[in-house]
């Protein structure tokens, strides 16, 4: 038996497998080893042996549970994981004494659901799991939790987790923490991480990965640092993935130098290590160093992938390295990486921002990939910056055709008209907004004060100190007006104010967060803010003035990059 197992492990090609299969058949041993052979083929690294497994399976008169398991497991790994579910369905519909789903079958089928994001199917298997009596299987429950989280039902995941009660172990916690972090509920992820600690669980590398990722998203510097200290004390920094997450965390919390220190110390840098660091430099506007690193990775024998190119393009974008970025983009295909919609989006942004609108549009027209909504929105943004009405109208029509119904698109078009004082057209756009049910992505900002993350929405009055915050903003306004500040009303629709007070310029979430920082963070410490959208022009102008008048360093991370305001100017040099 052991001999056959070791032979199987050493089969790396179809001819090896066929030889072994023939040998087992002639010696009459095949029925005893069939499932193992199927499993080996079905889960072969490149999946090149899966068709052979499927062929053998089809010619098996009455396949056993283990035979099914091997096939379902293999199919779940393919680009079309729903085929695993078809197979599972076939099996569970006609159960016999030798062929009935066991806990492993369910586990593999659930994996397929996770990869296919098939929530209803997962729920169905969940009820079968209970019916089959596997409700107490901790491994299977963790798989279930994980599927719910990955397929987008985080409440379902939490429910499974709570029901597991005493059977939870570190993997169950990890699945939930990672699920929450990846599902854009980073505060909850951090809460669970802390709860795990208070319940005496010892975090391992997977736990800290999820927690670090949550800190990155929240800009939770203090919590992130605590986790990094823990990582070092436990020797978890030998794990490259943990280091990558820490690099990302420090960079996204504003400490790019600290991120670089960790990067330098990672002995076996992976592709992701390089990509994360290049993206970190890009976010901080250090295009030169990002490009140097991009060149350097090649010399270290690491071949740039599509994410590396995206990071490098992004770096050129934020640093205004237009020629360099365009050259890089044009060199991609020749180096074996074909640009995807994100690369096109990035280069359109690069050209558009620099004012090369026609060239940007030409790229969109001729690109072999279907442009998505984000790409058109990027172009519309450039039209607004350079006041190109004709192109803005064309692009807006495109967006409407694509079913985009976002408030931002209408506002941009309206601003193009407003800049040219075409008030009739402004009114027309506003009318169109009223007639449609336009969707607004709510803007919010985070700021961490003494280890506590505070969240503000636009026009928010739910914070315990909101009255003080608003008073502070009034004071700010008074002081900056003395410096000649005039609100950039260009960024809002003119008299939408009546019905839409909360969106008024002066109470944008980043302003609230900065004002809160002014009243609650000691005088010489910098104020750090994280915003989910791009910072608006008015906020940018106001925060520059605050940094001068109040002699404060203010660091704002917006959706795309960092803005470091100091003595009246910003690290982005007003190019963003």
Near DNA in 43-72, by CB under 7 A: 66, 69-70
Q: Is 103 in the site for DNA (CB under 7 A)?
A: yes
Q: CA nearest 273: which of 230, 304, 313? A: 304
Q: Is 182 in the site for DNA (CB under 7 A)?
A: yes
**Please, what is the minimum distance in Å from the beta carbon of residue 262 to DNA?**
12
Residues 241-260 contacting DNA, CB under 7 A: 241-242, 244-245, 248
CA distances for 164 relative to 109, 132, 183, 280, 566, angstroms: 20, 17, 21, 39, 51
**Please, what is the minimum distance in Å from the beta carbon of residue 254 to DNA?**
14
**Please, what is the minimum distance in Å from the beta carbon of residue 168 to DNA?**
7
CA atoms within 13 A on the CB side of 56: 27
User: What is the CA 472 to chain-centroid distance, rounded?
Assistant: 35
**Please, what is the minimum distance in Å from the beta carbon of residue 276 to DNA?**
4
Smaller CB separation from DNA, 234 or 468: 234
Q: How far apart are CA 213 and CA 382, in angstroms?
A: 32
How many residues belong to the site for DNA (CB under 7 A)? 72
Of the candidates 408, 553, 560, 566, which one interacts with DNA according to CB under 7 A? 560
Q: Provide the H-helix boundaries in 168-286.
A: 170-182, 186-198, 205-218, 221-233, 240-252, 256-265, 271-283
**Please, what is the minimum distance in Å from the beta carbon of residue 519 to DNA?**
31
Residues 278-337 contacting DNA, CB under 7 A: 279, 306-307, 310-311, 314, 317
For residues 139-150, one letter each, b for 16 or more C-beta atoms within 10 angstroms of the residue's C-beta and e for the rest, the string is ebbbbbbbbbbb
CA distances for 262 relative to 224, 249, 301, 312, 464, angstroms: 14, 11, 20, 20, 38
CB 33 within 8 A of CB 24: yes
Of the candidates 41, 57, 63, 111, which one interacts with DNA according to CB under 7 A? 111
Of the candidates 191, 205, 393, 553, which one interacts with DNA according to CB under 7 A? 205
**Please, what is the minimum distance in Å from the beta carbon of residue 310 to DNA?**
5
DSSP, collapsed to helix, strand or coil, labels residue 566 as: strand
Which residues neighbour 71 within 8 Å (Cβ) at sequence distance 6 or greater?
38, 42, 53, 54, 57, 84, 87
Of the candidates 345, 352, 443, 517, which one interacts with DNA according to CB under 7 A? 345
Smaller CB separation from DNA, 400 or 560: 560
Q: Is 504 in the site for DNA (CB under 7 A)?
A: no
Smaller CB separation from DNA, 278 or 473: 278
Of the candidates 44, 207, 221, 445, which one interacts with DNA according to CB under 7 A? 207
Q: Please choose, out of 140-148, 389-397, 505-513, 564-572, the segment that lies near DNA by the rule CB under 7 A.
A: 140-148
Residue 526 DSSP symbol: P
Residues 1-20 contacting DNA, CB under 7 A: 5
DSSP, collapsed to helix, strand or coil, labels residue 424 as: helix
**Please, what is the minimum distance in Å from the beta carbon of residue 169 to DNA?**
5
Smaller CB separation from DNA, 142 or 385: 142
Of the candidates 82, 124, 239, 520, which one interacts with DNA according to CB under 7 A? 239
Q: Which residues pair with 531 in a beta bridge?
A: 445
């Amino acid at each position: 038996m052991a001999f056959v197992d070791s032979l199987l492990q050493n089969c790396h090609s179809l001819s090896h497998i066929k030889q072994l299969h023939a040998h087992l058949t002639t010696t009459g041993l095949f029925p005893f080893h069939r499932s193992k052979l199927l499993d080996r083929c079905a889960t072969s690294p490149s999946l090149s042996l899966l068709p052979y497994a499927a062929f053998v399976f089809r010619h098996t008169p009455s396949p056993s549970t283990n035979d099914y398991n091997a096939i379902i497991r293999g199919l779940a790994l393919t680009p079309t994981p729903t085929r695993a579910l078809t197979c599972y369905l076939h099996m569970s519909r006609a159960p016999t004494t030798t062929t009935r789903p066991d806990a492993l079958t369910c586990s593999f089928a659930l994996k397929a659901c996770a990869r296919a994001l098939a929530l209803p199917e997962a729920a169905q298997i969940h009820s079968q799991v209970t019916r089959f009596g596997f409700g107490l299987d901790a491994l299977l429950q963790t798989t279930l939790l994980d599927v719910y989280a990955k397929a987008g039902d985080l409440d379902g995941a939490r429910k499974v987790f709570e029901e597991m009660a005493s059977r939870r172990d570190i993997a169950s916690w990890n699945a939930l923490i990672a699920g929450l972090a990846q599902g854009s509920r980073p505060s909850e992820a951090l809460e669970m991480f802390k709860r795990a600690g208070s319940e005496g669980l010892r975090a391992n590398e997977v736990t800290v990965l999820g927690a670090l990722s949550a800190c990155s998203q929240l800009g939770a510097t203090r919590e992130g640092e605590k986790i990094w200290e823990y990582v070092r004390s436990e020797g978890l920094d030998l794990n490259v993935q943990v280091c990558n997450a820490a690099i990302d965390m420090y960079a996204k919390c504003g400490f790019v130098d600290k991120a670089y220190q960790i990067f330098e110390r990672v002995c076996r840098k992976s592709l992701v290590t390089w990509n994360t660091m290049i993206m970190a430099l890009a976010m901080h506007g250090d295009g030169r160093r990002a490009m140097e690193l991009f060149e350097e990775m090649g010399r270290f024998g690491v071949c740039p992938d599509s994410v590396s190119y995206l990071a490098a393009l992004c770096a050129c974008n934020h640093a205004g390295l237009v020629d360099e970025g365009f050259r890089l983009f044009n060199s991609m295909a020749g180096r074996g990486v074909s640009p995807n919609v994100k690369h096109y989006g990035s280069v359109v942004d690069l050209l558009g921002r620099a004012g090369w609108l026609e060239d940007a549009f030409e790229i969109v027209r001729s690109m072999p990939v279907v442009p998505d909504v984000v790409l058109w929105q990027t172009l519309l943004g450039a039209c607004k910056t350079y006041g190109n009405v004709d192109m803005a109208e064309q692009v807006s029509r495109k967006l409407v055709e694509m079913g985009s119904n976002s408030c931002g698109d209408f506002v941009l078009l309206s601003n193009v008209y407003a800049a040219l004082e075409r008030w009739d057209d402004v009114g027309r756009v506003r009318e169109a907004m009223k007639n449609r049910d336009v969707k607004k992505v709510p803007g919010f900002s985070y700021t961490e004060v003494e280890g506590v993350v505070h969240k503000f929405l636009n026009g928010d009055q739910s914070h315990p100190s909101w009255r003080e915050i608003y008073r502070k903003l009034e004071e700010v306004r008074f002081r900056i007006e003395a410096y000649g500040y005039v609100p950039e009303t260009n960024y809002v629709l003119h008299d939408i104010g009546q019905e839409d007070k909360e969106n008024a310029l002066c109470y944008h979430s980043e302003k609230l967060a900065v004002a809160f920082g002014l009243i609650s963070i000691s005088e010489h410490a910098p104020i750090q803010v994280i915003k989910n959208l791009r910072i608006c022009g008015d906020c940018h102008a106001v925060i520059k003035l605050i940094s001068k008048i109040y002699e404060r360093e203010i660091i704002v991370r917006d959706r795309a990059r960092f803005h470091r305001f100091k003595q009246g100017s910003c690290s982005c040099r007003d190019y963003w």
